[in-house]
Structure 1
């Protein structure tokens, strides 16, 4: 007997979702009813993953479930918000019970870890597409903007860059790496870790923030353009993993770290007077932010690159992710 939308939702999503006390009505009603904390603002983000653009047919469905939520939680982290609720619009070409079991398992695991409840959505038939909307909250007026960078601020990233891009190249057989690095880069590609705790820590001290989804050059470029400033990067300070530096030549590793999407680290700017406080507040984190440059006056925005004290230029053939460029695969929205 053919499965209908409601039986699929009931079996794979209704009873697996983490439960929060602030959800008055969730899956099963025409709309969800939630109770935000008093004196808090809501932060709402949406991302879509499309087969053939963000993942291919070889991507494990558990990874797709995880990543569909993770990319949204990363956006919430960049705003300084605490994740609370998610909704899912799932478009399927057909009903594949094994695929749904793994996909919903990956989605449930990350929602449970970050205490997010799946509160509703929609299921339709068509090309495989996953759209998640995530809601977070934060004390009123404390959201971290993209536009607040000032000349003299320091530029930080939350962790190593380029690993997910290397993982993509490995899955596409464009690069090979040793066994001890293989699992690490594949995990970084398929199971990104949104920097939720760091994002909340940066409220009130970071002047601007963005998650690195399209590549550091592109995403830091957004911060600089919004503020009308220039980012001066010291490339020898970029946090690069052994997986990256032992697999690629120096120039290739730097280029990938600057342009590869899907890292989902946070890139933020910090005034001089808050550097000590940030160091103290992040001392307990497993991965601590790394200073990679400084903001300068520029007028129209831009990025200046230096390596070991010398000007450095990106090699031909490397560019950040662009949804409307031909042949692109993987990468998040700008």
Structure 2
């Protein structure tokens, strides 16, 4: 990329305070970091590609927030504390009018969660962003997908379905005139990683995952890893008033809540003996936590409402569908 080092120096170098565990963040072939004692390192990598995860004309600041938030959400799902991030940015041309708001939003979110950029790469090509985040979790205490047991209760954070509604606004101009279209569009790009909830549930949750492919898909990752089944009460799904008015049908809103991808809320399971402490443990996190079902024997997978079983032909979000 023409002017690569000038762009790096102008937009990425010396943008943050140095963490004590970062020995060298830039200026050499590798970053150097120092690992605290008695922790494991949680690592996650995600790529966002124009035309698949966002439209090429999406606001750069929104794209930056979405890219970093999606990675931080993976750390949150394991109860990890974010520490470091590296960024590989591919652009068709060096466009400073795009890069400035991108970097401003990126570093704003990174600073909020105490994450330091420690390296990366820039190159010429189709617009895409690849991030690798790393965080700390106490040894042998990370939340995983394979710990759910029969009888555990299933919880989710926040309100579900808004991201799918926001994507409708992106893809269908007729949706732009629907109630709360602008707010839901904003929520599609501006998820809040539930880092505090993940940390709070480390002593209590038996399994966890972040909702990136839709609840109906992601909960099945827990079921497969744990070799269990589940019963979900769709009437318990947390829905925003904006979503209900946008789709103008509560049952449709519930289906959005089950299938909406890129929510970056958490789904986690809690044994019966810890059910009573969930609200207290998460009270400081500033986010709603809702019990939506219970883990059942492996052969069981059911959705129900008002005591009746539902047979809805629904599936989760597909990242390979063109947007």
| 1-structure distance, mates of 2:284, 2:182 | 26
Query: Where does residue 251 of structure 1 map in the other structure?
Result: 251
User: What secondary structure sits across from 2:285 in the alignment?
Assistant: coil
CA deviation after TM superposition for structure 1 residue 176, in Å: 4.3
Query: Where does residue 319 of structure 1 map in the other structure?
Result: 315
| 1-structure distance, mates of 2:304, 2:218 | 18
CA deviation after TM superposition for structure 1 residue 36, in Å: 1.9
User: What secondary structure sits across from 2:256 in the alignment?
Assistant: helix
1:267-306 correspondence runs (5 A): 267-299=267-299, 303-306=301-304
RMSD: 1.5
CA deviation after TM superposition for structure 1 residue 202, in Å: 0.9
- Structure 2: gaps (5+ residues): none
Query: Contact 1:321–1:328 at 8 Å: present in 2 too?
Result: no
Query: Contact 1:18–1:111 at 8 Å: present in 2 too?
Result: no
Query: Contact 1:18–1:115 at 8 Å: present in 2 too?
Result: no
CA deviation after TM superposition for structure 1 residue 319, in Å: 2.7
Verify: 1:307 aligned to 2:305, yes or no: yes
Query: Contact 1:18–1:118 at 8 Å: present in 2 too?
Result: no
Query: Where does residue 31 of structure 1 map in the other structure?
Result: 30
| 1-structure distance, mates of 2:284, 2:103 | 32
User: What secondary structure sits across from 2:284 in the alignment?
Assistant: coil
User: What secondary structure sits across from 2:117 in the alignment?
Assistant: strand
- Structure 1: gaps (5+ residues): 330-334
User: What secondary structure sits across from 2:304 in the alignment?
Assistant: strand
Give per-residue Cα distances to partners, 1:150-180, cap 9 Å, x unaligned: 000000001100001001101222534555x
Query: Where does residue 185 of structure 2 map in the other structure?
Result: 186
Query: Where does residue 203 of structure 2 map in the other structure?
Result: 204
CA deviation after TM superposition for structure 1 residue 253, in Å: 1.0
| TM-score, normalisation: structure 1 | 0.92
| 2-structure distance, mates of 1:9, 1:99 | 14
| 1-structure distance, mates of 2:163, 2:153 | 25
User: What secondary structure sits across from 2:283 in the alignment?
Assistant: coil
CA deviation after TM superposition for structure 1 residue 3, in Å: 4.1
Give per-residue Cα distances to partners, 1:269-309, cap 9 Å, x unaligned: 0001111222211122321310000000125xx63100111
| 1-structure distance, mates of 2:125, 2:163 | 28
CA deviation after TM superposition for structure 1 residue 322, in Å: 2.2
Query: Contact 2:181–2:246 at 8 Å: present in 1 too?
Result: no
